[in-house]
Amino acid sequence: MNVLLDTNVYVSYLLSREATSTVNTVVRTCLLQDEVQLFVPQEVIDELREISGRPKLKKVLPFDVIQRLVIQLQTLTIIVPPVAKPAAFTRDHKDDYLVVQSLLHRVDYLISGDLDLLTLGAVESLKIVSPARFLDILQQAGMIQR
C-alpha cells in the first residue's frame, strides 16, 4: 500500500501527547509497517523545517524535535523531489503538490486533516482520507489491532 501524509498529519503527530492517539498510530504504522510504502515529498520536509521558525509553534515544536522526525523520514521512507508547477486541484493551491505527487508516484492513500483536500475524496485512483478513516482502513487490512 502506497501512502503519502500531509504536513498537518506530521505536525499533529509531533504535538500529540497520547501515544495511542489516532494520528500517532497512523504515523507509526506508516513508518514501521512493511506493507506500507511511505512517500514524502521534499516540499513536506521543507515545510516541516519552516514550521520550526513560526512564532506560535517554536516553543512547542523546537527545531531538534522536527529534525529528529525529518531524519526518520529520510531513513525510513521514499523522499521524492519537488514538482515544478503542480496542476490545480484544490481551492488552496498550496496543497495541489500533494495530489500531484500522489498521482505521480501511484499513491493509494493521501492522508490529511485539510478540508480542501478531504472534500475531493478521490482523484483518479487516489483516495484522500482523514487519519481516522485511514486507521479504519489499516484495521480492516489487518495491519493494526486496536
The C-alpha atoms of residue 85 and residue 11 are separated, in whole angstroms, by: 25
CATH of domain 2-140: 3.40.50.1010
Q: What does the domain layout of the chain look like in residue ranges? A: 2-140
pLDDT at 146: 62
**17 pLDDT higher than 90:** no
Q: pLDDT for 33-91, tens place per residue?
A: 999 999 999 999 999 999 888 888 888 888 899 999 999 999 999 999 998 876 777 77
- Taking the model in full, what pTM does it have? 0.93
The half-sphere exposure of 116 on its side-chain side, counting CA atoms within 13 A, is: 14
Phi, psi angles (nearest 5°) of residue 48: -60, -45
Residues 14, 130, 132, 10, Cα dihedral to 10°: -10
